[in-house]
Amino acid sequence: MHKTVTLDMATSVLDENRRLARANREHLKAHGVRAFDFLGAVGSGKTMLIERLAELMRARNIRAGAIAGDVAGDDDYRRFRKAGLPAANVNTGKECHLDAHLVEHALDELDLDLLDVLFIENVGNLVCPADFPLGAEKRVVVISTTEGDDMVRKHPAIFRDADICVLNKADLARAVDVDVRVLERDFRAVNAHAPFLLTNARHGDGVESLLDALME
Amino acid sequence: MHKTVTLDMATSVLDENRRLARANREHLKAHGVRAFDFLGAVGSGKTMLIERLAELMRARNIRAGAIAGDVAGDDDYRRFRKAGLPAANVNTGKECHLDAHLVEHALDELDLDLLDVLFIENVGNLVCPADFPLGAEKRVVVISTTEGDDMVRKHPAIFRDADICVLNKADLARAVDVDVRVLERDFRAVNAHAPFLLTNARHGDGVESLLDALME
């Protein structure tokens, strides 16, 4: 959001987004689809977590699909397709976050009647997406130990609104000299109730617990 | 930048930023200060690279200062102060990037006559800062191996305009299964000339070469 945009304009953009997010939510609900928004910096491991969750869901007969949000390219989209997920690719171009309008169009590309769950992977960014709900039931914020132990303090807004916080690449904490307890303490300071889960997506550690937290 | 902002308004914001960036550049030049903009995702290692560069500069009698840009908090600012650097802290609040106007104010907090070099560390974000020059002489884009080997493909704009690209945490490439050659190839596809340097800031590897490239 740029400085010189007047407050009224900014507010109307956010209001309109909220209205569209509610419409997406109703649309998903009408088709019996539970949607989960995945937020996190680029490289935090969002795509790989979704790949692992999709494997576990398949074993539980849960039919999952995905929307891949990126500034450019279709790397994540192709990964989802390779993992057997019906998927839609959304390139935001100059925008640094998905909005409810982009998601509305992506929903049109998917046959929602064939899905039980929809993953919405946002652009890798921990600032702007905070203001743009998309219509998902839960918002999962993913951080990686390799990002340093000041991650939560630097982005309080996004952690305050998280329904689940995932600390991924937990196995690398020692290699990058990061104290997991600092991150958990900072998270608890802004969010008293949401689960704080450790995962290592590459090896699948902790993904079962994440699935349980999502489906609860 | 939000969708419903008209093109004219967006253009005027960018024009005004460019005008202020030119003024910052003249202001820095008048005081004999060379400024280097550090961009990269959160956790890529920008702050630690600047700490290491400052150590080497001290040995070369180069007087360095820093501007720490973050959405919230003063973690990086305190690290710069602890490293002996005159520093200014800039919190962007809802904004996901520094702009030339914020930097203009930060410059007022520093005694430029006591500096030869100024590091400007942007907010951890690889999208929006691309459009906002700040007045620096060179733009350094820092990525970390832990962010995955699709980093460049996902953010072509920021790499196209880079004067130096640093691949940090190079020692962790194998642990996170990332092929350094893929990143370099993708970088070369959008930027034919800028140096592509490998570093490991924690242990100081490659920082001397980065310093040489900066001061060239």
* pLDDT over 80 at A73, yes or no: yes
Per-residue model confidence (pLDDT) at position B168: 97
Nearest to B71 among A13, A73, A154 (CB): A154
* pLDDT over 80 at A2, yes or no: no
The ipTM (two decimal places) reads: 0.76
Per-residue model confidence (pLDDT) at position A9: 64
Give Rg (Cα) of chain A: 17
Distance between B211 CA and the closest CA of chain A, angstroms: 23
| Cβ–Cβ gap A1/B124 under 8 Å | no
Buried b (16+ CB within 10 A) or exposed e, A37-57: bbbbbbbbbbbbbbbbbbebb
Contacts of B172 in chain A (CB under 8 A): 146, 172, 175-176
Q: For an interface test with B, give the residue of A49, A127, A150, A178 to mutate (most B CBs within 10 A).
A: A127
Q: Is the pTM of this model over 0.90?
A: no
User: Per-residue confidence of chain B (216 residues) as pLDDT tens digits?
Assistant: 444 455 566 678 889 999 999 999 999 999 999 999 999 998 899 999 999 999 999 999 999 999 999 988 999 999 999 999 999 999 998 788 999 999 999 999 999 999 999 999 999 888 888 889 999 999 999 999 999 999 999 899 999 999 999 999 999 999 888 999 999 999 999 999 999 999 999 999 999 999 999 999
* pLDDT over 90 at A53, yes or no: yes
Q: What is the DSSP letter of A200?
A: B
Q: Supply B153's token pair.
A: 């493909």
Residue written as token pair 């596809």: B189
- The residue of chain B nearest to residue A70, with distances taken between CA atoms, is B154
Contacts of A182 in chain B (CB under 8 A): none
Q: What is the DSSP letter of B206?
A: T
Number of residues that make up chain B:
216
Q: Supply A88's token pair.
A: 């839609």
| DSSP secondary structure of A106-126 | HHHTS-GGG-SEEEEE--S-S
Contacts of B123 in chain A (CB under 8 A): 127
Q: Supply B61's token pair.
A: 């009698």
* pLDDT over 80 at A207, yes or no: yes
With a pLDDT cut of 90, the percent of chain A lying above it is 81
Q: What is the DSSP letter of B129?
A: G
Buried b (16+ CB within 10 A) or exposed e, B9-43: bbeebbebbeebbeebbebbeeeebbbbbbbbbbb
Nearest to A75 among B124, B146, B150 (CB): B150
* pLDDT over 70 at A203, yes or no: yes
Give SS3 for B63: coil
Q: What is the DSSP letter of B109?
A: T
| DSSP secondary structure of A170-195 | GGGTTTTT--HHHHHHHHHHH-SSS-
Per-residue model confidence (pLDDT) at position A117: 98
Return the closest-CA partner of residue A161 out of A3, A14, A39. A39
Nearest to B2 among A13, A41, A177 (CB): A13
Per-residue model confidence (pLDDT) at position B127: 84
Give every CB contact of residue B65 below 8 A, 6+ residues apart in sequence. Answer: B85, B86, B87, B110, B114, B115, B117, B118, B119
Euclidean distance between CA atoms A42 and B42, whole angstroms:
9
